[in-house]
Chain A
Amino acid sequence: TQLLEQSPQFLSIQEGENLTVYCNSSSVFSSLQWYRQEPGEGPVLLVTVVTGGEVKKLKRLTFQFGDARKDSSLHITAAQPGDTGLYLCAGDTDSWGKLQFGAGTQVVVTP
């Protein structure tokens, strides 16, 4: 059983459309991270959110940490083919050093 549940598992959209990926848990997280992984490579950190209700923006990507620190979302505006990849959320609860990952959302953006 995944501590972090990501939805949807797969998302295919056209260039220019918007998309949202969700990361949910019944546990409270001290902080949460989002990564993007491309085929044949390791995950690359996009953002870390640490405060409940926090919103961070990275160009066309908007990350939100839930008020109760149990969930997070990633919104991409006007998606581009370069946004294609596996998006992973990861967090730690009170077990320092054990970063837990969700199973990921595969995003495909077609021109």
Chain B
Amino acid sequence: EAQVTQNPRYLITVTGKKLTVTCSQNMNHEYMSWYRQDPGLGLRQIYYSMNVEVTDKGDVPEGYKVSRKEKRNFPLILESPSPNQTSLYFCASSRFGGASYGYTFGSGTRLTVV
């Protein structure tokens, strides 16, 4: 089954404790992206990657890091999480970027930073 897999689904952590949210896709997609979803603000792009070793900032990149060493994986790293990073996070992939190709989203990671 074609899918984007995120782990974990739920995570509660403390301020300053480094964490990684994993994302993997099995569709051989070139493009991958991370979004955060907050009430009233919709989905905002954090980082995206158009290919292996090619990443770029989205609209809200502060406090996050990403890497794309393999086509299938695109982990999101929070080096020193803060409470304002409490949010619902989604990883998405697409054959290529832009709105001409459909995005497949993961099921989300609900992160709480206390």
Contacts and interface: CB of A to CB of B under 8 A. Distances in A.
Given A43-B43, A97-B56, A98-B48, A48 B97 contact: no
A102 to B, nearest CB: 6
A90 interface: yes
A99 B105 CA distance: 13
A29 B92 contact: no
Contacts, number: 76
A99 B33 contact: yes
Central interface residue in A30, A32, A35, A43, by most chain B CB within 10 Å: A43
Interface residues of B, number: 29
Contacts of B58: 98
A45 interface: yes
Nearest to B56: A97
Interface of A: 2, 29-33, 35, 40-45, 48, 50, 88, 90-92, 96-104
Given A31-B100, A97-B48, 4 more contacts: A30-B100, A43-B103, A100-B45, A103-B42
